[in-house]
């Protein structure tokens, strides 16, 4: 019996040792020479409680007018771009987007070999909410975050394929 218990402890230890750190961010390598990498991410809301603002809503992200994917709740996408000033657009005005808020734009100057982080933050505006009014009470921001801060937020999101 003791051998069986020891074997169980050993197997459990191996299983735990093999579990990946789910709070770890692995940057996507820049594949093209002379390109930059931009991560567009939407972290989980910090609003207390189980509510998740616009959980089922997600915009399509366009770079210079070209679609690069969707940013759903608690996810990110990695986008390789040419250096220069790029215009990022979070929009609900496409057939596959599920986003009611107005479009949001951000112009980002990129340099070859560098990585950048754009955060789409959606939070409940708790100061404007009342017991009878839970809809359309959001604070939504879309903009650049420095890499030192961004990696601590993006590591808790999932990469969209």
Residues 129 and 137: beta-carbon distance below 8 Å: yes
In a 10 Å sphere around its CB, with 0-12 CB exposed, 13-18 middle and 19+ buried, how is residue 116 labelled? buried
DSSP strand pairing (66-70 vs 60-63):
antiparallel
Return per-residue pLDDT of the chain as tens, 161 residues: 554 444 334 444 434 444 444 677 888 889 878 999 999 999 998 876 677 889 899 999 999 999 999 999 999 999 999 999 999 999 999 999 999 999 999 999 999 999 999 999 998 887 776 656 656 688 899 999 999 999 999 999 999 87
Q: Determine the pLDDT at residue 7.
A: 38
pTM to 2 decimal places: 0.81
Q: Determine the pLDDT at residue 23.
A: 72
- The end-to-end CA distance of the chain, in Å, is 47
Q: Which residues pair with 82 in a beta bridge?
A: none
Q: Determine the pLDDT at residue 85.
A: 98
CATH architecture of 25-159: Sandwich (2.60)
List the one residue out of 159, 151, 153, 155 whose CA is nearest residue 22.
Answer: 155
Exposure of 63 in the CB half-sphere (CA atoms within 13 A)? 22
Q: Determine the pLDDT at residue 136.
A: 65
List the one residue out of 78, 74, 72 whose CA is nearest residue 90.
Answer: 72
């Amino acid at each position: 019996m003791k051998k069986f218990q020891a074997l169980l402890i050993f197997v459990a230890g191996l299983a735990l040792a093999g579990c990946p750190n789910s709070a770890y961010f692995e940057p996507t390598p820049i594949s093209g020479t002379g390109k930059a990498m931009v991560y567009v991410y939407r972290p989980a809301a910090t609003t207390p409680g189980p509510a998740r603002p616009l959980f089922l809503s997600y915009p399509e992200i366009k770079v210079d007018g070209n679609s690069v994917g969707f940013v759903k709740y608690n996810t990110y996408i990695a986008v390789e771009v040419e250096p220069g000033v790029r215009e990022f657009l979070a929009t609900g005005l496409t057939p596959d987007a599920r986003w009611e808020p107005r479009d949001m734009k951000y112009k980002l100057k990129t340099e070859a070999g560098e990585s950048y982080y754009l955060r789409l933050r959606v939070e409940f505006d708790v100061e404007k909410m009342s017991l009878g009014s839970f809809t359309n009470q959001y604070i939504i921001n879309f903009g650049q975050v420095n890499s030192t801060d961004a990696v601590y937020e993006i590591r808790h999101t999932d990469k969209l394929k």
